[in-house]
Amino acid sequence: MKATNVLEIVQLSKKWKDFSIEDVSLKVEKNEYFVIMGPTGAGKTLLLQLIAGIHTPDKGKIIIEGEDVTFLPSEKRRVGYVPQNYALFPHLSVMDNIAYGLRAQGLDKDSAKKRVISVAEDLGISHLLKRKISTLSGGEQQRVALARALVISPKVLLLDEPLSALDAQTREGLRSYLRELKRKLKLTAIHVTHDFVEALELGDRLAVMFRGRLTQVGSPNEIIFNPRDELIAHFTGFKNVFDGVVVEEKDGVSVIDIDGIKIFTITNKQGAVRVAIRPESILVARHPVTTSARNMLKGVVQEVIELAPHIVIKVDAGIPLTVYLTKSALEELNIRVGTEVYLLFKASDVKVF
Amino acid sequence: MTIGCDVLRRPFPAFFLSFSVMGSLLILALLVPLVVILISSSPADVVKSLRDSEVVGAIIVSMSAATLATCIALIFGVPLAYVFARKEFRLKSLLESIVEFPIVVPHSVAGIMILLAYHSRTPIGHILSNLGVAIEDSFWGITAAMLFVSAPILVSTVRAGFSLVDESYEHVARTLGASQLKVFFTISLPLAFRSVLSGAILTWARSISEVGAILIIAPYPKSAAVLVLERFEAFGLTAAKPLTVLLVVISLAIFVLLRLITKR
């Protein structure tokens, strides 16, 4: 069956204050949860605001359900927008906040109330309806803001860093809440975040945005395992990035020399290259072991850092490598600063740019 | 932490003590005239002056002209304040300066400026007087003088209020289907309401206290502040006192109301 695009963005560009987006094109299908990730200042919010109609683009087109809405005012687009600060109207109750869109569209008070009660039930916030906005916790505010955006049955839901203002524990709870909501309501949404883990957990498809451009769009696996460039690799968690030279290629396996250390990898690139290895792809052993991993480097632990949820160890193996371990692995292997270790990783886990 | 609490519990340090003493002298200087005027006239004198038809007439003129000036300032000033708070455009700072200019002009000078621009023989004044709104020696002249000197206060107070309303409220309301006008009346204005109210009260109070411009444009019909001046000049301090007390009480009541609204 041919997928239906709810949203299509064609070569969109906009400069606004210190932010800009350049030549952004993307398509979001019906019932697709699309996550755009990128560092602060990448232009993610500006892109959402362009889709919401808060700004008009300098160039390009925005098409929602086949209709060109590029210059249509916000109120005629039917998009649900949840900004980073939720922007719940402080002078209205929770009920009136959620009902605002329905009333603005001319629905009578009783029908609006019925619809609000039904959406509040779906979102598990019925108990909050009579509360004042100022009495809500961060997590509650987030749910109310979602309800207010969803009650108008938007064609597409736009979520701007919806979890970033929350503490770690609430964030975790709301992440699963959003996952559940996405499944139950079959949301068509664009969610922007700077948190890679959030993107992986929620996104059906991901896009990476840097300096106003979408640098890669793909499935979570494509982004994690085939980052298109070094910037994406670094952003998605590749901590070990080095410059090297391809010195040999045999049977599909290449050897890269990094400061005299030989690394096996699978690439068809030649000459000077840059390589990246994710910390969680590296195994740690106290003794040399024979495995299918083509790379085994001997090194000495330089630093052990407890950084929940894992332990980070930094090893000098001729090149400085960062490795993640669990606390129990650290204790079982009796690793501390100065311990001699062997680091193993597969040739296919070495990403070459 | 106990260290912080200890610092707070410490007796008033010498530094703040000396500053407070200096500040108290200023408070005292401001308070003395207020206390003196309130105790120097007996309530009976004040009641008696309320029976004086000229006094009552002057107070009615002042209050109604101030109310009208405030309403006009609200109708035209609130939209202007919103534009200033929300939009950046060429000549914006020039327009802002024009609006603020009356604050720095001596009020007698303001009176002459208004009279020269709008008296019945000027093109605009001619049209206005044909509509029955001639400014010379009329209620409309008093209102015009009050509006000229007080409108800048309304615009700047309301503008500050709108600037404090996070624009994201308006953005979200628009995405929910509300038109720009509906957003203004259901989101922006209610959220800036306290500033609009305090702006209106300040405008009204400033209008009531105006003398200089009114004396040039419309010394008749007599407004309250002009009558105080006239009685003082013609009959001396004692004659001016009861009306002065009345005006002080009215001003005080407005001031207390303003403080209550803005502190709530």
| Residue ranges per structural domain of chain A | 7-234, 238-352
Closest by Cβ to B176, choosing from A85, A90, A100: A100
Q: Cβ(A1)–Cβ(A54) under 8 Å?
A: no
Number of Cα atoms under 13 Å in the Cβ half of residue B174? 20
pLDDT > 90: percent of chain A: 65
pLDDT of residue A243: 87
Residue ranges of domains in chain B: 46-263
Alpha carbon distance, N-terminus to C-terminus of chain A:
36
Q: Which CATH superfamily is domain A7-234 in?
A: P-loop containing nucleotide triphosphate hydrolases (3.40.50.300)
Fold of B46-263: MetI-like fold (1.10.3720)
Q: Cβ(A60)–Cβ(A13) under 8 Å?
A: yes
Q: Do B174 and A148 touch (CB under 8 A)?
A: no
CA distance B176 to A148: 8
Alpha carbon separation from B125 to A129, B130, B132 (Å, rounded)? 57, 8, 10
Res A144 pLDDT > 80: yes
Closest by Cβ to B176, choosing from A73, A90, A104: A104
Q: Which of A55, A62, A64, A74 to mutate to test the interface with B (most CBs of B within 10 A)?
A: A74
Closest by Cβ to A104, choosing from B168, B171, B182: B182
Range of weakest confidence among A13-17, A179-183, B104-108, B147-151: A179-183
pTM: 0.79
B177 → chain A, closest CA residue? A75
Better pLDDT: A35 or B256: A35
Q: Do A85 and B168 touch (CB under 8 A)?
A: yes
Better pLDDT: B173 or A233: B173
DSSP alpha helix (H) spans, chain B: 2-9, 14-40, 43-50, 53-86, 92-104, 107-118, 123-130, 139-164, 167-175, 180-183, 189-191, 193-208, 212-217, 224-235, 237-263
A154 → chain B, closest CA residue? B176
pLDDT of residue A1: 44
Q: Do B171 and A85 touch (CB under 8 A)?
A: no
Q: Do B174 and A80 touch (CB under 8 A)?
A: no
Asked if B174 has any chain A CB less than 8 Å from its own CB, the reply is yes
B172 → chain A, closest CA residue? A81
What does each of the 264 residues of chain B score in pLDDT, given as a tens digit?
444 445 555 666 788 888 999 999 999 999 999 899 888 878 887 888 888 888 889 999 999 999 999 999 999 999 999 999 999 999 999 999 999 999 899 999 999 999 999 998 899 989 988 998 889 889 999 999 999 999 999 999 999 999 999 999 999 999 999 999 999 999 999 999 999 999 999 999 899 989 999 999 998 899 998 999 999 999 988 888 888 888 888 888 887 887 787 776
Q: Cβ(B210)–Cβ(B146) under 8 Å?
A: yes
CA distance B208 to A225: 74
B187 → chain A, closest CA residue? A89
Q: Between A and B, how many CB-CB pairs are < 8 A? A: 65
Asked if A141 has any chain B CB less than 8 Å from its own CB, the reply is no
Q: Quickly state the pLDDT bin for A282 (edges 50, 70, 90).
A: very high
Fold of A238-352: OB fold (Dihydrolipoamide Acetyltransferase, E2P) (2.40.50)
Alpha carbon separation from B101 to B42, B95, B156, B169 (Å, rounded)? 41, 10, 12, 32
pLDDT of residue B256: 87
Copy the structure tokens of residue A171.
């964030």
Asked if B92 has any chain A CB less than 8 Å from its own CB, the reply is no
Stretch A203-224: mean pLDDT = 89
Round the average pLDDT of chain A to a whole number and report it.
90
